[in-house]
Amino acid sequence: MKRIFSYNVNGIRSAVSKGLLDWLKHVDADILCIQETKAQAGQMHETDLLALGYKTYAFSARKKGYSGVAIISRIEPDHVEYGMNNPKYDCEGRVIRADFGDLSVISVYFPSGTTGGDRQVFKMEFLSDFHAYLNRLRQNRPNLVISGDYNICRLWIDIHNPEKQQNTSGFLPEEREWFQRFIDDRYIDSFREFNAEPHNYSWWSYRANSRENNKGWRIDYHVVTDALKSKLLSASILPEVVHSDHCPVLLEIDA
């Protein structure tokens, strides 16, 4: 069994200052996929993580203090792929992949379109291009775990007050339509395989006591290819873990 966590830490240095390493000591993580490292190589507490038994594989944005993804693992990968071979997105440090035998784990940070305009267009282009990238990849690597911050609430039950959010980036009809096409293309939202209940969120605004009142969004996922469906053991969200405006999500898989 592998325990795979995904966590948008909203700055790894900030999260460490809030106790991230102490949390990691106790959760028995095999693999931790990180998004929004907001750091460059050498700034991610790599030595501290190594002391805990974890090696850090990171892909940073060219712009300092922005974006960035990492895979922190106590299992030695056979291969690590940095980026998706597309300079348009790779300069922003959005995708990293590690192969463990016949299993591939991807940490991905989808663009946010909250500023609207060009960035929303960029986000929609990323959705299409990332889907195509995965479809090419799965021809040779069929067992994919695609972990990260998707910046989209997939379902009506994945967001607080959906009626008033339909013109908000992250819950736009075209974003949810993309997500449904993605799922229909033999990808599985692992959390919804185990839990069909509303009010399960992984991100909360810092405003208006949103987290305390559980007025949040579910935007962090472990999506897997259908080849892994029979291997899924459990999937959960850990809202009690607080080092970020997100919380970690966990997938347990027999792989």
39-56 per-position pLDDT tens digit:
999 999 999 999 999 999
The length of the chain, given as a count of residues: 255
Residues 6+ positions from 242 with CB-CB distance below 8 Å: 18, 211
Handedness of CA 203, 208, 209, 210 (dihedral sign): negative
228 vs 50: CA distance, rounded Å: 30
- Predicted local confidence at residue 171, as pLDDT: 98
> pLDDT band at 210, cuts 50/70/90?
very high
**Beta bridge partner(s), residue 253:** 2, 232
Quick one: how far is CA 46 from the chain centroid?
A: 20
Residues 6+ positions from 255 with CB-CB distance below 8 Å: 1, 2, 103, 143, 228, 231
Q: Which helix (H) or strand (E) holds 87?
A: helix 87-90
8-18 per-position pLDDT tens digit:
999 999 999 99
- Predicted local confidence at residue 248, as pLDDT: 99
Structural domain total, the chain: 1
- Predicted local confidence at residue 46, as pLDDT: 98
94-150 per-position pLDDT tens digit:
999 999 999 999 999 999 998 889 999 999 999 999 999 999 999 999 999 999 999
Instruction: Single out the catalytic residue among 30, 99, 149, 220.
Output: 149
Please give the residue range of the domain that contains residue 184. 2-253
107 vs 109: CA distance, rounded Å: 7
- Predicted local confidence at residue 63, as pLDDT: 97
Q: What is the pTM of this model?
A: 0.98
> CA-based angle 116:117:121, to the nearest 5?
100
CA distances from 192 to 12, 43, 63, 169, 227 (A): 28, 35, 35, 22, 17
Using a 10 angstrom Cβ sphere, with 0-12 exposed, 13-18 middle and 19 or more buried, the burial of residue 98 is: buried
End-to-end CA distance of the chain: 6
Whichever domain contains 45, its CATH number is: 3.60.10.10
- Predicted local confidence at residue 116, as pLDDT: 82
Q: Does the active-site annotation cover 149?
A: yes
